[in-house]
Amino acid sequence: MSGEPILVIDDNPANAALISFLLESSGYQVRKAGSAGEAVAMLQAFQPQLIMMDLQLPGMDGLELTRRLKADAETRHIIIVALTAYAMKGDEERAREAGCDDYITKPIDTRTLPGVISRHLQAPPRG
C-alpha cells in the first residue's frame, strides 16, 4: 500500500469515521463525503482509486450515484464497494447491476475490511 486515495461516502458520521480510521491505519489517503452531492463536488479535484459507497444516502442514493459514475468516462475506472446496513434479498444483485464492484454489509467487519480493500487495489486495472 502506497497511500492510494479512497473516498468514503456515508451520511452516518460514526460509520464514516470508523471506515476512515481503518483505512488510514492501513496507509490509505482517505477523504469523506456525507452525501452524493458532496461526493460529486469532491470528485472534481480528488480522483480516488476506490470509493466506499453507502447505498442509503439522502437525496440521490448510492445506486444512482454509482450508475452515474460508471457511465462517465472520467470516473468509470474507480472501484466502487457498496456498503449497506439494510441487506435484503436481491440488494447485492441490484448493487452489482448498478456497477458496484463489491458489496459489504454493515456492521463492517473491522478485521477483514483492510484486506478486502487491498485485494481490490492490487487487482489488474479495469477497462
* CATH at 108: 3.40.50.2300
Residue 89: what pLDDT?
80
What pTM was estimated for this model as a whole? Answer: 0.93
Of the candidates 60, 31, 66, 65, the residue with the CA atom closest to the CA atom of residue 46: 31
For every residue of 103-122, which 3-state class applies, written as one string? EEECCCCCCCHHHHHHHHHH
Helix (H, G, I), strand (E, B) or coil at 58: coil
Residue written as cell 496507509?
27
- Tens of pLDDT, residue by residue, the chain (127 residues): 468 999 999 999 999 999 999 999 999 999 999 999 999 999 999 999 999 999 999 999 999 999 999 999 999 999 999 998 877 788 889 999 999 999 999 889 999 999 999 999 998 766 5
In a domain, 124, yes or no: no
Reported in sequence order, the residue ranges of the chain that DSSP labels E, i.e. its strands, are 5-9, 29-33, 50-54, 79-84, 102-105
In a domain, 125, yes or no: no
